[in-house]
Amino acid sequence: MEAPSDGWTPIGPHTIRFEAPDIVFCRPVGEVTGADVRAILDFTESQAKRIGGRIFYLGDSSRITGYGISVTLQVVNAWHLKQHLRATALFGASFQQKAKHGILLRAARALGIPVTDPPFGTFPDEASARAWFDALRRKL
């Protein structure tokens, strides 16, 4: 785990930090629980309110060992956070994580839930995710 002096805040075994001007970067480690998700969402919302603007959420999925579909649904159902997000990018997801995301996104679309507002993307690495944010900044 990174040292607190590096700007990282612990949330259970996970770490999260704000990167100026507008990125919340989260590194979950191990099993992600509902309580973890609530704390991550609360941190993201508090940073958006602190800067008085919308946040890009960057998530490193490479060290996640598991989470239930209910955890993902909790994120999808966090409608109040939508007003605080510019976009979400996840990188480093395993095949199983990508499959879960795909199933959930198809189900949400079938139910008429707008899953691309704000924009959501998955990427093979951090640099690709950050490049997408840069492109969105120029468009948004």
pTM assigned to the model: 0.84
19 pLDDT above the threshold of 80: yes
For 84-134, write each residue's pLDDT tens digit.
Answer: 899 989 999 877 777 776 776 777 678 776 666 688 888 999 999 999 999
List the helix and strand counts (H, then E) for the chain: 5, 8
Q: What is the DSSP letter of 115?
A: T
Q: Read off the CATH number of the domain in which 59 is found.
A: 3.30.750.24
Which domain range does residue 18 map to?
A: 4-139
Query: By CB neighbour count within 10 A (0-12 exposed, 13-18 middle, 19+ buried), where does 55 fall?
Result: buried
Pairing state of beta strands 64-66 and 30-31?
Answer: parallel
30 pLDDT above the threshold of 90: yes
> Which amino acid makes up residue 27?
R
Pairing state of beta strands 85-91 and 55-60?
Answer: parallel
Structural domains in the chain (count): 1
> Which of the pair, 23 or 74, is modelled with greater confidence?
23
For 53-79, write each residue's pLDDT tens digit.
Answer: 999 999 999 999 887 666 766 766 665
> What DSSP assignment string belongs to 60-109?
E-TTEEE--HHHHHHHHT-HHHHTTEEEEEEES--HHHHHHHHHHHHHHH
Which residues neighbour 72 within 8 Å (Cβ) at sequence distance 6 or greater?
Answer: 100, 101, 104
Residue where the block lists tokens 């605080």: 84
As beta bridge partners, residue 27 has 15
